[in-house]
Structure 1
């Protein structure tokens, strides 16, 4: 199950996805009745993340960062204090990252195992996460619904690198893709593969 905790945030924030159970939405539990590893994919900013987590689960096992822009990590100090939680991300030299999550590695969230793909272009430390069993992709700010794509006018942004990352992502997920959860806006659940291809074409314009 995937729940966006930052839906009602008043200020600028990324989406903050709490993953429990089976990420494809069927809420499959593990054999012992648990919801698996309770993980936030990005934690957002400008809302009470601790209270939002506690509306759904009594504890948090980890935070996985798609990248370290402030709107994706703003609530991290409060989460660390409340839950003693460890964060993983691509760049362990950043204050928001406790442990490295490199390209080609895996991370557990809910009852799923997500593979990682380094996808710079929006930011150098950007990662995408993909669970091949459910077809669920966390795309961060690389792509968005309706063929939109991440900004490249910020520090570390580069349009050609972004285009290459989207193309590699499309090949990497193949035909297994069923849903894309983006860093901002709604998920892409209808023809997500076609949406990635549209993002590539739009970024090339």
Structure 2
């Protein structure tokens, strides 16, 4: 059973969620911003194997330097040219997170380097800022944001995960542990409104 800790839980600052997944390969998915991520990781484990980024907006990467310094880990993300990314993850590539294998899905529209991570075996999705609970979806009014591209990415995500999803961990707000596929469908509908 995969254990997921949101180390940003309860933080009242400009931050994303940051998910610590324990297992054979203990991984932090997004580092958050403006809180002591190192202290919160150390309250769970002394061991961190990698830091994986859904994308490089400041609220997701503000704590990267302190986490890298404390745990001497490499950072994985879509864009190897970004100063914080040590290793590239391509669309469709498999990434070991916790005890599972996750397929990386390149899902731009909110930001060009956006990735989602989906485990078929566990039925788990790390959705970053592509989709949220109750049909929410990522902003497209920031640099690199594009609504038609975001809609294509939501459609791609929906096709890849189907109805087999058991939980969706999102960049902001609560995790979705009841019928997450429906929340993705709602996000696609909402994103199409007002185009």
Normalised to the residue count of structure 2, the TM-score between the two structures is 0.96
1:99 aligned to which of 87, 95, 103: 87
The match for 1:13 is: 15
Unaligned runs of 5+ in 2: none
Q: Secondary structure at the match of 1:176?
A: coil
Task: Give, in whole Å, the separation in 2 of the partners of 1:181 and 1:45.
Answer: 17
TM-fit CA distance, 1:7? 1.0
Q: Distance in 1 between matches of 2:148 and 2:178?
A: 27
TM-superposed CA distance for 1:107, in Å, is: 0.8
Secondary structure of 1:72's counterpart equals helix
Q: Secondary structure at the match of 1:175?
A: coil
What is the SS of the residue equivalent to 1:116?
strand
- Partner of residue 43, structure 1: 31
Per-residue deviation, 1:95: 1.0
Shift, 1:2, TM fit: 0.2
1:92-120 C-alpha deviation (Å, 9 max, x unpaired)? 10011110011010111111110011000
**1:26 aligned partner:** none
Query: Pairwise mapping of residues 24-35 of structure 1 onto structure 2 (< 5 A)?
Result: 35=23
RMSD: 0.7
Per the TM alignment, residue 136 of structure 1 is displaced from its structure 2 partner at its CA by: 0.2
Q: What CA distance in whole angstroms lies between the structure 2 residues aligned with 1:8 and 1:201?
A: 30
Residue 8 of structure 1: how far off its partner (Å): 2.6
**What is the DSSP-based 3-state SS (H/G/I as helix, E as strand, rest coil) of the residue aligned with 1:125?**
coil
Q: Tell me the equivalent position of 2:112.
A: 124
Number of paired residues?
191
SS in 2 for 1:81: helix
Find the aligned partners of 1:16 and 1:39 in 2 and give their Cα distance.
Answer: 10
2:155 aligned partner: 167
Q: Which position in structure 2 is the counterpart of 1:2?
A: 4
How far apart are the structure 2 equivalents of 1:146 and 1:58? 35
Query: Residue in 2 aligned with 1:69?
Result: 57
Q: Specify the alignment match of 1:28 in structure 2.
A: none
Provide the residue aligned with 1:199 in structure 2: 187
* Residue 153 of structure 1, CA deviation: 0.1
Segments ≥4 residues shifted beyond 2 Å: none
- Aligned match of 2:76: 88
Could you tell me how far apart the structure 2 residues matched to 1:175 and 1:193 are?
6
TM-score (norm 1): 0.92
Q: Which runs of 5+ in 1 are unaligned?
A: 21-34
Secondary structure of the residue that 2:183 maps to in structure 1?
Answer: helix
1:136 matched residue in structure 2: 124
Describe the superposition over 1:138-170 as per-residue Cα deviations: whole angstroms up to 9, x where unpaired.
Answer: 000000001010000000000000001001100
